[in-house]
Structure 1
Amino acid sequence: MIKFIKDFYRNSSPKLLISLLFFLAALLVLGVITNEIVVEKEEEIDFLVFQFFKTHFVRAGLTQYMYVITQFSSAPFIKIAYPFLIVILLAFKFYRKALFTFVTAVGGLLLIYGMKMFFARPRPPYPLLYKEESFSFPSGHATLSFILYGTLAYFIWLTDLPKVWKYMAMVFLILLSLTIGFSRVYLRVHYPSDVLGGFCLGYSWLFLMIYTFRK
């Protein structure tokens, strides 16, 4: 690991080094959440966040909006979005990007499924609208939203668009991903630690895939 970091540092740009720091931070946060909250079941912060949401955010008019937002990383949406994106990339002969998208998506799904089955964390009690049947940690919506919209942001960054449009698109996609995570906590179908862990997992996996394909 130390040799990898040294080689990475010698051969990388400042932007890539910053990305590495975020990657290491994401792994650290994911490890802390996994050990302290999921394994040791120290869930006090999760329930404090739920209480904060109930007091300051949960409103009848906002609930339906959150339900719509959460669908942008739901299983039915993902089943349509990824094949559609891959077909578009193949149609324009972006074969490498199509392969990247496929490998990143499948790998992310396997990671989520494996971690859910391994930790088998029950869902939060008293969901706001509906009950989810699968295990809770990590949040699949948070993980896949970060992978999917992060992939789109990465592809947009590789285009010849003016930088202002690139930044606007990236900010929009990141905010969309964060709002999806927010909606999962709002609807009380995931613990806040599930969502934060999902974001960390999604970023870590996407970083590894981008670094691997660039090499």
Structure 2
Amino acid sequence: MKKRHYLIALLSLMVFTTMVVWIVKINRGELPYVDQWTRDPVDTFPGTFIYTFFRTVTNLGSEPFMYPFTFICGLGLWWLFRHWLPALIFAGGTLISHLLNKLIKSLVNRERPNILVEANAEGHSFPSGHAMITLVCYGLLAYFITKKMTSKKAILAVQISFAILIFLIGISRYFINVHYLTDIAAGFFIGLFCLIGFIFAYEHIQKRKARS
């Protein structure tokens, strides 16, 4: 158990250090090496099936879709659990991650590689909101849905399906050239930490309720 904790702490430190290095380079006006290596292929995507596919997928993480989606799913979780807490953690977690994303973007102040208003791609670039916020939103939704399931195969299927969806939404921002790859990676990293934090908060509250 201790070894696992040490490993998680080490990986977290490595991720944090990597993001700090990226931010330092960005503030110096430099492109991180990852972005230098991955910029050229982006110019080949427009007009292809890949671009069209990801241009459609990216809408599943855009604000015009996410606002009603979060509200409806929050109501659904309230009905499913017959309690307000799952709905609050889900909707509140999504909102907090959105606000945190806006805050970090304003602090890092990185320009996008391209502005695409119709794809909800305006403002600052680092970290990607589509990667960060959808990981929290869809991740929490998958977590609460599987809490009501008993079949291990069904649970695994839901987890894999949501993981693929989250990845596709996040990476779509690279393929339609509105984010650098480091923006997306940072969004996934920060979103994962947020997701773990919200799940921990929910389970902690549940344990306290069970003891009382």
* Shared fold, TM over 0.5: yes
CA contact (8 A) 2:86 2:202 kept: no
Name the residue aligned to 2:39.
50
Name the amino acid aligned to 2:53. Y
CA contact (8 A) 1:141 1:180 kept: yes
Output aligned runs, 1:4-153, within 5 Å.
Answer: 26-35=15-24, 37-43=25-31, 44-54=33-43, 60-92=48-80, 93-125=82-114, 132-153=121-142
Residue 53 of structure 1: how far off its partner (Å): 4.1
Residue 172 of structure 1: how far off its partner (Å): 1.1
Name the residue aligned to 1:214.
203
Return 5+ residue gaps in structure 1 as ranges: 1-8
Name the amino acid aligned to 1:91. W
CA RMSD of aligned residues (A): 2.6
Look up the SS of the partner of 1:137 in the other structure.
Answer: coil
Distance in 1 separating the partners of 2:97 and 2:19: 15
**Identity of aligned pairs, percent?**
25
Distance in 1 separating the partners of 2:187 and 2:153: 29
1:111-169 CA distances to partner (integer Å, 9 max, x unpaired)? 01101111111111487x97832111111111111111111221133223311111111
Please, what TM-score do these two structures have when normalized by structure 1?
0.81
Residue 81 of structure 1: how far off its partner (Å): 0.9
Distance in 2 separating the partners of 1:130 and 1:162: 38
Please, what TM-score do these two structures have when normalized by structure 2?
0.82
Return 5+ residue gaps in structure 2 as ranges: 205-212
Higher relative contact order (CA 8 A, sep 6+): 1
Look up the SS of the partner of 2:39 in the other structure.
Answer: helix
